[in-house]
Amino acid sequence: MKTGNLFRKAAAAPHILWSVMFIVFPLLFVIYFAFTDSYGNFTFDNITGLSGYTNTFILSIGFALIATVVCILIGYPLAYFISKTAPSKQKILIVLLMLPMWINLLIRTYSLMSLLDNGGLINGMLSNLGLPKLKMVGTGGAVILGMIYDFLPYMVLPIYTTMTKLDQRYIEAARDLGCNNFQVLTKVIIPLTVPGIISGITMVFVPSISTFYISQKLGGGTFDLIGDTIERQFQNELTYNTGAAISLIMMILILISLAVMNKFADNDEDGGIIV
């Protein structure tokens, strides 16, 4: 018994060491910097001074929300469609879906830029057709498109997984009790795949809200999102403390939204919310 415990502890040691060095300590530093000034004195000024960044927060949350909702609207039917095809085809479709993820995020974003740019592929085609050019890079739409393009697979995969695990008997029972195909979807399949949707939301919303690269490249510098702001603060030694404060607030925001979503998922398992 005792040796077993010892072994378990030994096995966990590398992970604990890793967590302490790269998660706990940095977190403590973030908290330390957030509550001190550049001379190391305790202060709330960094936090209170963040009111000037309210618009940045709202814009970031707004963009991330829109991207997440669009990812659900595209990703859910896509996952449903993939789960309905023959098993051999499903594998191919999933590989196709994952293929972009094998390519570096920066390269993907650059390639999207070269499509949307003023001198890019789409505008090139438009002007060849004698149509006026569209301004795409530098608009909010381009930034949101970038988020959707980069993070869509993270929405589809968890939903697809819960769908393939869904017991066919529930679907047969629903049809038996009078559901047409649409009702089977709304009354049974969607409620039973909520856990997949929740993890999809988490996996799209969190990276969307903290991204800086996408907004810099596709926003053309027009949009200042939280990620951009944090990055800028840490490029200058004098604003480390502000950067730490923004990071801390963003972490708290993400934690709150995750907690809310998990609560929602738990309630759903108890039955009752969705009828």
Partner 1 sequence: MKESTKNGNVIIKLKDIVKTFDKETVLSGIDLDIHDNEFITLLGPSGCGKTTTLRIIGGFETPDSGHVFFDGEDITNLPPYKRHINTVFQRYALFPHLNVFENIAFGLRIKKTPEAQIREMVKEMLTLVNLKGFEKRNISTLSGGQQQRVAIARALVNKPRVLLLDEPLAALDLKLRRDMQVELKNIQQKTGITFVFVTHDQEEALSMSDTIVVMANGSVQQIGTPEKIYNEPVNAFVADFIGESNIVNGIMLRDYEVSFAKQTFKCEDFGFAPNEPVDVVVRPEDIDIVPFTDSMLTGEVTSVTFKGDYYEIIADIDNFKWMIETTDKVAVGETIGISIDPNEIQVMKKSEFSGMFGDYSSFSDELDKLSDLSQEDEE
Site for partner 1 in 193-252 (CB under 8 A): 194
State the nearest-atom distance from the C-beta of 34 to partner 1, in Å: 42
Q: By CB under 8 A, is residue 132 in contact with partner 1?
A: no
How far is CA 183 from its chain centroid? 30
Closest distance between partner 1 and the C-beta of residue 214, in Å? 36
Measured between alpha carbons, how far is 275 from 267 in angstroms, rounded to an integer? 13
Q: What is the CA radius of gyration of the chain?
A: 23
- CA–CA distances in Å: residue 240 to residues 33, 50, 89, 237: 7, 13, 51, 6
| Amino acid sitting at position 73 | L
Looking at beta carbons only, is 22 or 264 nearer to partner 1?
264
Q: Give whichever of 3 and 168 is closer to partner 1, judged by the CB atom.
A: 168
**Pair 267, 273: CB distance under 8 Å:** yes
Q: In this chain, which of 4, 14, 132, 272 binds partner 1, going by CB under 8 A? A: 272
> Judged by CB under 8 A, which stretch of 23-31, 47-55, 223-231, 265-273 contacts partner 1?
265-273
Closest to partner 1 by CB, 176 or 237: 176
Tell me how far, at minimum, the Cβ of 208 lies from partner 1, in Å: 28
Residues 162-201 vs partner 1: string with x where CB under 8 A? -----x-xx-xxxxxxxxx--x---xx--xx-x-------
CA distance 124 to 117: 9
Structure-token pair, residue 195: 């856990």
Considering the complex, state which of residue 14 and residue 271 has its C-beta at the smaller distance from partner 1: 271
Q: How far is the CB of 33 from partner 1 (least distance, A)?
A: 45
Task: Write phi, then psi, for 44 (nearest 5 degrees).
Answer: -100, 0
Identify residue 14 by its one-letter amino acid code: P
Our CB check for partner 1 shows the closer of 163 and 188 to be 188
Whichever of 167 and 237 has its CB closer to partner 1, that residue is 167
Cβ neighbour number for residue 107 with a 10 Å cutoff: 10
Contact, 204 vs 71, CB < 8 A?
Answer: yes
SS3 call for 36: strand
Determine if 261 is a binding residue for partner 1 (CB under 8 A).
no
Cβ distance 193 to 165 under 8 Å?
no
Give min distance, CB of 163 to partner 1, in A: 15
Q: Which CB atom, from 37 or from 269, has the smaller least distance to partner 1?
A: 269
Shortest Å distance, C-beta 143 to partner 1: 36
Q: Does 271 bind partner 1 (CB under 8 A)?
A: yes
> Using DSSP, how many helices (H) and how many strands (E) does the chain show?
15, 0
Task: In angstroms, give the least distance from the CB of 181 to partner 1.
Answer: 9
Contact (CB, 8 A) for 56 and 260: no
User: What does the block give as tokens for 157?
Assistant: 């995969």
3-state SS class at 184: helix
Q: How far is the CB of 258 from partner 1 (least distance, A)?
A: 22
Residues forming the site for partner 1 (CB under 8 A): 167, 169-170, 172-180, 183, 187-188, 191-192, 194, 268-272, 274-275
